[in-house]
């Protein structure tokens, strides 16, 4: 499967934003006098887990979208004159498979992140805070990007 340019572009944005926040996090450890080598190893593990999770999610959505065939727009149902409401259109088999693929991917990715978090917290070669915080950074990057885009409009 070929990775679509949109997946590459969005993953690069998430990777860059997450890297910036991870560097800021490491700087805060330094400023607070809590910096040691486990902060670096923890930050790397958390960063790779966060960006890898986003990339796998984007790939799953790409594959599910590629497999779905458009079924057309739903027909409006007339109620009492001018008002129309849309009826629920049953999902096609392709759409059902795509939804299942996305749900399975989510479950597996969350188990993977949980396993990495457990390793990061239990193994002494990682600072647990430095592992866990970067896993939240993609959400922050997405929220900041959304806020910046909405302020431009």
- The DSSP bridge partners found for residue 84 are 78
* C-alpha atoms less than 13 angstroms from C-alpha of 5 in its C-beta half-sphere: 0
User: Per the domain annotation, does 34 fall within a domain?
Assistant: yes
The residue-averaged pLDDT of 119-126 equals: 98
| Secondary structure class of 84 (helix, strand, coil) | strand
Domain tally, the chain: 1
What are the pLDDT digits (tens) for 73-119? 554 554 555 554 556 767 788 888 888 999 999 999 999 999 999 99
- pTM (predicted TM-score): 0.82
User: Per the domain annotation, does 82 fall within a domain?
Assistant: no
User: Per the domain annotation, does 114 fall within a domain?
Assistant: yes
**Could you tell me what percent of the chain has a pLDDT over 90?**
71
Domain that holds residue 110: 5-69+91-152
68: which 2 tokens?
């779905």
Average pLDDT, the chain: 89
* Residue for token pair 């909405």: 150
User: Per the domain annotation, does 64 fall within a domain?
Assistant: yes
User: Per the domain annotation, does 75 fall within a domain?
Assistant: no
């Amino acid at each position: 499967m070929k990775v679509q340019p949109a997946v590459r572009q969005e993953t690069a944005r998430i990777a860059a934003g997450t890297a910036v926040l991870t560097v800021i996090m490491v700087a805060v450890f330094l400023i607070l006098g809590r910096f040691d080598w486990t902060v670096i190893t923890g930050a790397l593990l958390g960063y790779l887990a966060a960006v890898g999770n986003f990339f796998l999610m984007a790939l799953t959505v790409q594959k599910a979208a590629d497999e779905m065939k458009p079924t057309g727009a739903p027909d409006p149902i007339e109620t009492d004159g001018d008002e129309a409401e849309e009826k629920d259109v049953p999902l096609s088999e392709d759409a059902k498979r795509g939804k299942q693929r996305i749900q399975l991917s989510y479950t597996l990715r969350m188990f993977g992140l949980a396993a990495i978090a457990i390793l990061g917290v239990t193994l002494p070669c990682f600072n647990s805070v430095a592992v866990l915080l970067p896993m939240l950074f993609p959400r922050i990057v997405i929220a900041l990007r959304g806020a910046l885009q909405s302020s431009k409009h």
